[in-house]
Amino acid sequence: MTLERNQVWIYLAAILLGLLLGSVRPDTASFLELLLWPSLVLLLYATFVQVPLLHLGASLRDHRFISAVLLGNFVLVPALVGLLVQCLPPDPALRLGILLVLLVPCTDWFITFTQLGGGSVLRAIAVTPVNLLLQLLLLPVYLWLMAGAELAGAFESVEMWSAVAVVVLPLLLAAISERWIEAKREREVVRSSLAWLPVPLLALVVFLIAGAQASVVLGTLDVLPAVVPLCAFFLVAVALIAKLLARLFGLPTDQARTLAFSLGTRNSFVVLPFALALPAGWETAAVVIVVQSLVELFGMVFYLWWVPRRLFR
């Protein structure tokens, strides 16, 4: 748990080190970018292995909780995001970054923060495969509805297929691994060992992004005044949505807290491959995703106080 408790500072340090390396040695950018894609594959695999992908039916048994999570994550949150992007400057890359990252619920540290915040870890684990599969299916629909014409050129790149492979390949390997692990009880140690990898691997990924895109990151710092307040407002708004849904569905306290963490955490590293595969001129989208993940992590520190002590006592 030490890694999870200090992950905000780990990622921040990784970004700063990456920016330093990229500024001092810009000639390393191509090498860092070469390392980025296999690092992303390993990160997603280590993350997906923790998700009970083969037990989708079991996760649908608690109808009230599942209904609240699905209504929140796939109806109310997208509606909120659609309104929020209208407040952004008319920069297609900036808007795409916000849409990509805020439309998809988290499948990794959501469970960690649920545990730290006094939520129901069992329900967090159960709902995760549903959230993962639905977001992969619905994200293209959301993008088409909210910014179809504006983003048409962004996703015509051939490299987009490599981004799809970076997500789908680890997903398939994780499903195969899950079947292999569950065949014998003693193999569960493999999954436990892999559970330590997402934090250092995500730190490596943001380090590589910062190093490879140092000039882009430093050149787009002007997006921070637009992105940071919007992402902070999002965290407050979705927590209040969770409060409303918890009352509507009559959820007990631990499930209501789990719902709040599900709506508040977003799946930044699952959409990163798509942002990184965008053609030239769209680099801001990846920077926005990294910035949002940092805002979210600091926001989760606030959530750990607010959700159990004030919002759902």
* Position 271, amino acid: V
Token digits for 253?
Answer: 């306290």
Distance of alpha carbon 142 from alpha carbon 80, whole angstroms = 12
Residue 274 is part of a domain; what is its CATH number? 1.20.1530.20
189 burial via Cβ count (<10 Å: 0-12, 13-18, 19+): exposed
- E-strand spans in the chain? none
Question: Taking residues 127-132, what's their average pLDDT?
Answer: 87
Q: Give 140-171 pLDDT, tens digit per residue.
A: 889 888 876 666 566 665 456 667 777 888 88
Give the CB-side neighbour count of residue 26, counting CA atoms within 13 A.
7
Q: What is the dihedral sign for C-alpha 73, 79, 83, 86?
A: positive
Task: Note whether 171 and 53 are within 8 A (CB).
Answer: yes
Domain enclosing residue 33, as ranges = 2-311
The count of structural domains within the chain is 1
pTM, full prediction: 0.86
d(C-alpha 64, C-alpha 214), whole Å: 46
Average pLDDT (17-42) is 88
22 has a pLDDT exceeding 90:
no
Give the mean model confidence (pLDDT) for residues 173-182.
88
34-86 pLDDT, tens digit per residue, is 898 898 889 888 888 887 776 666 656 778 999 999 999 999 999 999 999 99
- So what's the pLDDT on residue 129? 85
| Residues 78/129, Cβ–Cβ less than 8 Å | no
Rounded-to-integer distance, Cα 41 and Cα 273, Å = 9
pLDDT > 70 in the chain, percent: 91
- Residues 147, 86: contact at Cβ < 8 Å? no
Share of the chain above pLDDT 90, in %: 31
